Amino acid sequence: MMAVLQRVSHARVEVTGRRVGEIGPGLLVLLCAERGDTEAQSDKLLAKILKLRIFSDADGKMNHNVQNLDGLGQMGGLLVVSQFTLAADASGGNRPSFTAAAGPDEGRRLYDYFVQQARCAHPVVETGEFAADMQVHLINDGPVTIPLRVVPLEGTPR
């Protein structure tokens, strides 16, 4: 599984002009399941996202995570948006291939699993709509953008 995290001061997702998810300070998580990804990879990715220290302390150093934005216990939000295009392969020409992305049913299952686990682990989780034409509005704070990929352990099937 892979994700692109954007540290935001505000983000929202709209579908046909209707707001479906919105957060204040926190992380916009663009999430992609690839063929063969597992729930264990989803769990590992979520754990990394929640612990990743990319929020600034009083000295401007990245020392806080989304579960403790300011070192005083302030929680940030997670806005989780499915984005199969992260699996794009443009090495063969000018039109990207998305064959590495999980199929729609498996992608939805893993996306829903990730969101469910995120809601169990973190109090502020909003989402986009899986497979919808979404407009994502954000104010990238920093800007800080971090790509993450969780690969299976050696010897385990993908």
Residue among 85, 99, 135, 145 flagged as catalytic: 85
Give, for 127, the enclosing helix (H) or strand (E).
Answer: strand 125-127
Q: Where are the alpha helices (DSSP H) in the chain?
A: 39-51, 104-121
What 3-state DSSP class applies to 85?
A: helix
Residue 134, token pair as written in the block: 């979404």
- With both helix axes pointing from N to C terminus, report the angle between 39-51 and 104-121 in degrees, rounded to the nearest 10: 40
Q: How many CA atoms lie within 13 A of 14 on its CB side?
A: 7
Residue among 6, 55, 67, 84 flagged as catalytic: 84
Give dist(CA 104, CA 84) in Å, integer.
9
Is 83 in the active site? yes
Contact 80, 128 (CB under 8 A): yes
Residue among 6, 41, 67, 83 flagged as catalytic: 83
Is 84 in the active site? yes
Is 117 in the active site? no
Classify residue 17 by burial, with Cβ atoms within 10 Å: 0-12, 13-18, 19+: exposed
The residues that are catalytic are 83-85
